[in-house]
Structure 1
């Protein structure tokens, strides 16, 4: 049985990836305006839900979700590993265990009954669902995995605790037991050099949950926001987003279900993978300007903080009663210094020196304006001039671009203009050929934009 608590001796990269992993753990836990009455907080736990298998199957065919937000009973991570003899892999499974917080008052006959809300000592308390962070570690030898997969049963006990608010009011927190199975296996990947395909599967193993129970009840036997940290000693992982050319075939054949594994940790380290139910890029980081958690980790701290300050006193009172973590957000936002707010407004990540000594005026100056004409300019792609009117096939890059461009991969489009930006980079403005609203997009000038290396010319130079 796997340890229900983390093992202290872990790869250094685990600590470096902790802040991002925590953001994944609590993404969507409680959304602005952090009140129980808000519609968005009445449907909880949107990401990485591993629910009981019988309940999931009763909902219909399992369909992988691009956002990873669909309820499932399993996750599968496949990543590429270069491992020396004696290499060891540690898998850390992290999730939230839901618990019901019941506010109860004493009745006329002495017994306690759950109520929707109660006021004690000027504070309000609401009945609501919370969650407790859990994690377990599995460590295995890579060479042993090649001979036989490793299977661990993870058991997390349920429990009950009672917090007395006064003689007639109390809070009872109850959680139900969870059961999961973690399978770790290794196979040879198709590559010209020694390369392993590491597979980690996490499954909800609860067998005693009826198929027809309501979702809130099924969630109490679910692993919520489930994700994994995978570390290696004596080896290194390869990026699936930007693999070396010799491993590109193996990378494409990695089949991930409800997870998106990326390299994690500091700098260019390749010793840790974070496999998340949310799409990330390699080596994700929490912005250093962020003053603390807001449970909307993909949003902008400045906007959320300013909006939180606009809540009325009654709304703030409800938010504080909804969840202790919401109360902590309010306490922090209300005392943010002005200098911290100014840092949230924006940051310069890099500065490139301006090149001097050229006689040509910059394109953005009035003198250089005549040298730039998006409707007439062309750019060479694989030796073919591409300009307005060219037909192209879209090949969005897998790393460093807009994730929504992935949905347009393989589609054909017509180039409308070639733009030059302030960094002296070219961008092709295109309209999809099969888009019913193509003419409207042209009229409004609303285009999709791709770099020259992201398109494939389909004909010669335009007339």
Structure 2
């Protein structure tokens, strides 16, 4: 786009592109990240817009349609980014002694094993249009065409030509249609429609298979829309006055969500996968793993455990797969520990925090929310008129309503209260170690206790 985007639009799109990149590569290459793996032989399941000549009989789609409500201000500009992957089909050839080449199913090099593969090349079609012009007849129509390309990449080892890659990108063409219609009422809202179509005139002379259609397709296609002045209305949680109009929006093969920074409504992501408004990348994630519905810890550990041969094949499959191998091999223990689990705050942390000079911890160990009104080591609960807390001796009398049958064997035993705990539902629980248990010190050291409710114990002083 000549001159680039206005600063307001570029700032709004910057954070949304992080989420859009995750959408773009969702399921791009699956563990174990090798082209030879069975689950990597049927690729690209999200947002694939195939040529019309293939989509008519295949059940796949050649278009996607986004409809949403916007509240633009006078003179608003709409930035549109169509983002997708374009397949670059790779053929592997081995160098012959006579200077020629022959096509082979794989080529083993010292650091990698190179295999045939479809690489995903990022493409972007960017538009900037006045919102006012979209309400006129026909709105805005932008056609695009990406020509075919042929490339050759040498494969050298120790300064000697070992082979080459022949890489081919086929022609891809399409159209973006934008229009808007005023809604009745005093709010000044518009119904914005954005349609993306694959218009490629591909002739499937070699058979209408998905394999042959993919190089002519828009893969992982999605839209980023941004307003420099104005907001998009949430399709999932619209204001009451707009609920009826939102329900009438027709979205086909895409899912529009708000993606503006800090909960703002100036950016919308129309995604081929279902997301919530304002999706975020988990801060614990060390990097892209590309595996659909990934669980970072499991993938990182299993990837690090691949054999050297498997890692060499992954590196030869795709540069992004190789980056995953390198990432898994380099993760320090503290990062893996962080991947093991994260607790999001159950309540907002108080504004004031302890001063480091006071020696008090800034975040008590028992509550990630640092609720200073709760202290398991000092709290007391009144039982039979006696305050019971950490250090109190109690008589255990679990009732039959308990689901843990082993607790019934403790009926009549005495225990020592270690802490008084409050859960998010407001219930009170006593953490107890059983007196006379030879493993009590070990349980205490590990923070493992038996838990009883106040009506299941009696203060020893009152028994």
Structure 1 pair 134/6, CA: closer, same or farther in 2 (3 Å)? Answer: farther
Note the 1:36-435 alignment, pairs <5 A.
Answer: 36-60=35-59, 71-106=60-95, 111-121=100-110, 123-148=112-137, 149-166=139-156, 167=161, 169-189=163-183, 193-210=187-204, 212-296=207-291, 298-350=293-345, 351-352=368-369, 353=371, 422-424=423-425
Q: TM-score, normalised by structure 1?
A: 0.73
Q: Counterpart in 2 of 1:25?
A: 24
1:391 counterpart residue number? none
Secondary structure of 1:77's match?
A: strand
Secondary structure of 2:81's counterpart equals strand
Change (3 A) 1:337 1:112: same
Task: Please give the per-residue CA displacement for 1:376-395, whole angstroms capped at 9, x wherever unaligned.
Answer: xxxxxxxxxxxxxxxxxxxx
After TM superposition, give the deviation of residue 119 of structure 1 in Å. Answer: 2.3
Equivalent residue for 1:15? 14
Quickly say closer, same or farther: Cα 1:108–1:281, change in 2 above 3 A. Answer: same
Within 2, Cα distance between the matches of 1:344 and 1:123? 28
Tell me if the contact between 1:98 and 1:220 (Cα under 8 Å) persists in the aligned partners: yes
Q: CA deviation at 1:104?
A: 1.1
Question: Post-superposition shift, 1:278?
Answer: 0.6
| Corresponding residue SS for 1:334 | helix
Contact 1:24/1:297 (CA < 8 Å) preserved in 2? no
CA, structure 1 residues 237+305, in 2 after alignment: closer, same or farther (shift >3 Å)?
A: same
Report SS of the residue matched to 1:348: coil
1:190-214 C-alpha deviation (Å, 9 max, x unpaired): 5552211111110001023338421
**Residue-pair matches, total:** 364
Distance 1:293 1:315 in 2: 19
Q: Secondary structure at the match of 2:12?
A: helix
SS at match of 2:24: helix
Unmatched 5+ residue regions in structure 1?
A: 61-70, 375-420, 427-463
Say whether the 8 Å CA contact 2:111–2:312 is kept in structure 1: no
TM-superposed CA distance for 1:136, in Å, is 1.2
Distance 1:425 1:189, change over 3 A: farther
SS of equivalent to 2:228: strand
For each residue in 1:340-380, what CA deviation from the matched residue of structure 2 results, as whole angstroms up to 9, or x when unmatched? 11111122321443756996789xxx99999x999xxxxxx
Report the counterpart of residue 390 of structure 1 in structure 2.
none
Q: Deviations over 1:205-245 (max 9, x none)?
A: 10233384211110000000000100001111111111111
Question: Partner of 1:103: helix, strand, or coil?
Answer: strand
Q: Which moved more, 1:323-332 or 1:163-172?
A: 163-172
| Residue of structure 1 equivalent to 2:349 | none
- Matches of 2:109 and 2:73 in 1, distance apart? 61
8 Å CA contact 2:65–2:252 kept in 1: the answer is yes
TM superposition shift of 1:164: 1.4
Report the alpha carbon displacement of residue 188 of structure 1 after superposing the two structures with TM. Answer: 2.0
Residue 432 of structure 2 corresponds to: none
Between 1:76-85 and 1:105-114, the stretch displaced more is 105-114
Task: Report the equivalent of 2:356.
Answer: none
Contact 2:204–2:212 (8 Å) recurs in 1: no
What residue in structure 2 maps to residue 392 of structure 1? Answer: none
Structure 1 position 297, deviation (Å)? 5.6
Task: Tell me, in whole angstroms, the C-alpha distance in 2 between the residues paired with 1:368 and 1:151.
Answer: 76
Shift of the alpha carbon at 1:133? Answer: 0.4
Taking a change above 3 Å as real, the CA distance of residues 425 and 51 of structure 1, as seen in their structure-2 partners, is farther
Q: 1:6 to 1:107 in 2, by over 3 A?
A: farther
RMSD value, Cα: 3.0
Structure 2 unaligned regions, length at least 5: 346-367, 389-394, 404-421, 428-463
Q: Is the 8 Å Cα contact of residues 83 and 221 (structure 2) preserved in structure 1?
A: yes
SS of 2:216's equivalent? coil
Secondary structure at 2:261 match in 1: coil
- Contact 2:16–2:260 under 8 Å retained in 1: yes
Q: Measure how far apart 1:185 and its partner are.
A: 0.5
Q: Report deviation, 1:106.
A: 4.0
Q: Which residue of 2 aligns with 1:394?
A: none
